[in-house]
């Protein structure tokens, strides 16, 4: 997308700021450049700007005339983005800008994630801060860091950093929805340790088997759709080829981030030379099988094998078998649904990463649940399964869910405003994806009244990520109307 194209979109100020954010590398864990950008922005407006020890930035804008007695409003979005790309392109998320473009009614990126999650929320907040024509209460604009992995920014908030009692989170991805609750989560880290096997059988040949073309997506938003998990599909093939074709695994790399449904998996394996043709036939058969099993869900599955150099080492047979059996037996996807919100996932499990590195195999999973009890239960089940397989299991990155408040004054006000503006009622939802709202509530001394909303984003956490252009203007107009009513 050229600068002139994006600046032609309306509202001009929001797209201007969003474009600026696409120019700044900001994957989770690399926040210094983007936080400095936000601080410079706040200082350029002569607004009080401060940063806490973990990197979160807050910019304070005084109340408009006549709004001095209104409750301070927190506007909150996260600065980091999920770095996902197709394997056939060269892109360094730590140094390269996002190449965005207009495709009809959508803004997309060229074979990478776009960063609309949650760059567009940040851009809307920046527009509010610089606009001198908007009437509003005192504003605390909170830009959190490292949300996508561990929610470190929200977890690092200290009491007293925020004073507001009303909070608008701008990280919901369906225009017309008002979110009032979400699931919590916990990371599961599994590791198999071993001494690499250097005894490659004479006469064996090596193949690289590649599974590509899956849709992937957000493990909270798309987990219920039934999209294929690359790690589960590859493991299904591996169990067959190891059991029946004397194959040995040299290396495996499937998936990347915990909160992204894995789209690709790559394995290097060896097999007796006389079975090479059989392996190639088996791979072709599995490609057909995978396409049939996921017809109507996955259209681009590619499963191929190509000869490669003989590896120097192999994963020991016992460890190889333990890994395959554990991954085969591990649940993946939806575990349970919420009784009070039909169709909304309560608990899920994403088998996100399976990767071998020298003398270790790492398996990483993300458990989500609106119930702390069920979250504990799913984690315990995974721990038992992989412990029986001889692996070490550890937990990390625990964060609480955000409990719904159907009697929220803020929600009532926002419902009325939406109906008055658009002559239809917004949909009030509880979502399975993780938001920072529950964590932020737990980190402040005051009781917060919180609602989340935002424009429509499709395919977050995957290279298919896109934002619907018209919903950006609609969401920003709605945000301005809410601020004007909170007098």
Which residues are marked as active site? 80, 147
Query: In terms of C-beta density within 10 A (0-12 exposed, 13-18 middle, 19 or more buried), how is residue 21 classed?
Result: buried
Query: Percent helix, strand, coil in the chain (nearest 5)?
Result: 30, 30, 40
List the Cα angle 116/117/120 in 5-degree steps. Answer: 50
> Before 386, cis peptide (omega within 30)?
no
- Number of H helices and number of E strands within the chain? 12, 23
What tokens were used for 123? 């851009």
Residue 289 parent element (H or E): helix 276-293
Q: Do residues 140 and 125 lie in contact, with contact meaning Cβ atoms separated by under 8 Å?
A: no
In DSSP notation, 181-196 reads EE-EEEEEEEEEE-PP
List the Cα angle 394/399/402 in 5-degree steps. Answer: 150
In DSSP notation, 391-452 reads -EEEEEEEE--B---TT-HHHHHHHHHHHHHHSSPPEEEEESS--SHHHHHHHSSS--EEEE
263-286 burial, b for 16+ CB within 10 Å, e for fewer?
A: bbbbbbbbbbeebbeebeebbeeb
Query: In terms of C-beta density within 10 A (0-12 exposed, 13-18 middle, 19 or more buried), how is residue 344 classed?
Result: middle
Query: In terms of C-beta density within 10 A (0-12 exposed, 13-18 middle, 19 or more buried), how is residue 161 classed?
Result: middle
Please count the other Cβ atoms lying within 10 Å of the Cβ belonging to residue 463: 22
CA distance 144 to 468: 24
CA distance 407 to 385: 42
Q: Do residues 95 and 25 lie in contact, with contact meaning Cβ atoms separated by under 8 Å?
A: yes
Cβ partners under 8 Å of residue 450, min gap 6 = 166, 167, 168, 169, 180, 402, 405, 408, 410, 437, 440, 441
Q: Which of 293, 226, 302, 217 is nearest to 261 (CA)?
A: 217
Helices (H), 47-172: 116-130, 152-155
CA distance 478 to 483: 9
Q: Do residues 478 and 452 lie in contact, with contact meaning Cβ atoms separated by under 8 Å?
A: no
CA distance 49 to 41: 9
């Amino acid at each position: 997308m050229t600068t002139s194209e994006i600046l032609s979109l309306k509202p001009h100020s929001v797209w201007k700021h969003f474009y600026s954010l696409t120019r700044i590398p900001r994957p989770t864990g690399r926040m210094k450049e983007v936080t400095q950008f936000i601080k410079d922005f706040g200082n350029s407006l002569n607004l009080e700007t401060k940063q806490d020890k973990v990197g979160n930035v807050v910019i304070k804008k005084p109340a408009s005339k006549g709004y001095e007695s209104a409750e301070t409003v927190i506007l909150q979005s996260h600065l980091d983005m999920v770095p996902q790309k197709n394997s056939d392109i060269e892109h360094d998320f730590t140094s390269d800008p996002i190449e965005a473009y207009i495709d009809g009614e959508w803004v997309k990126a060229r074979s990478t994630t776009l960063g609309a999650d949650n760059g567009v929320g940040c851009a809307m907040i920046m527009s509010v801060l610089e606009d001198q024509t908007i009437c509003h209460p005192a504003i605390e604009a909170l830009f959190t860091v490292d949300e996508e992995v561990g929610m470190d920014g929200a977890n690092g908030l200290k009491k007293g950093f925020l004073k507001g009692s009303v909070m608008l989170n701008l990280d919901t991805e369906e225009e017309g929805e008002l979110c009032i609750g979400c699931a919590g989560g916990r990371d599961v880290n599994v590791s198999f340790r071993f001494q690499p096997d250097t005894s490659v059988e004479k006469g064996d040949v090596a193949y690289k088997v590649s599974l590509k073309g899956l849709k992937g997506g957000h493990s909270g938003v798309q987990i219920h759709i039934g999209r294929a998990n690359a790690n589960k599909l590859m493991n299904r093939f591996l169990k067959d080829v190891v059991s029946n074709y004397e194959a040995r695994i040299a290396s495996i790399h499937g998936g990347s981030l915990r909160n992204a449904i894995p789209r690709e998996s790559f394995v290097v394996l060896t097999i007796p030379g006389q079975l090479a043709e059989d392996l190639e036939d088996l791979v072709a058969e599995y490609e057909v099988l995978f396409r049939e099993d996921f017809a109507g869900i996955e259209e681009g599955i590619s499963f191929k094998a190509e000869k490669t150099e003989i590896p120097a080492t192999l994963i020991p047979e016992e460890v190889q078998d333990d890994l395959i059996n554990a991954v085969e037996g591990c649940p993946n996807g939806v575990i349970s649904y919420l009784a009070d919100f039909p169709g909304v996932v309560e608990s899920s499990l994403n088998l996100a990463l399976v990767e071998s590195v020298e003398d270790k195999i790492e398996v990483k999973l993300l458990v989500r649940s609106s119930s702390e009890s069920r979250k504990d239960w799913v984690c315990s089940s995974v721990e038992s399964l992989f412990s029986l397989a001889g692996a070490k299991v550890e937990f990390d990155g625990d964060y609480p869910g955000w409990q719904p408040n159907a009697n929220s004054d803020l929600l009532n006000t926002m419902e009325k405003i939406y109906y008055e503006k658009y002559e239809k009622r917004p949909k009030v939802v509880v979502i399975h994806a993780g938001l920072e709202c529950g964590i932020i509530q737990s980190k402040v001394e005051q009781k917060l009244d919180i609602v989340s909303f935002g424009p429509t984003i499709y395919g977050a956490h995957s290279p298919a990520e896109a934002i619907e252009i018209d919903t950006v203007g609609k969401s920003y107009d709605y945000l301005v109307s809410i601020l004007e009513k909170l007098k």
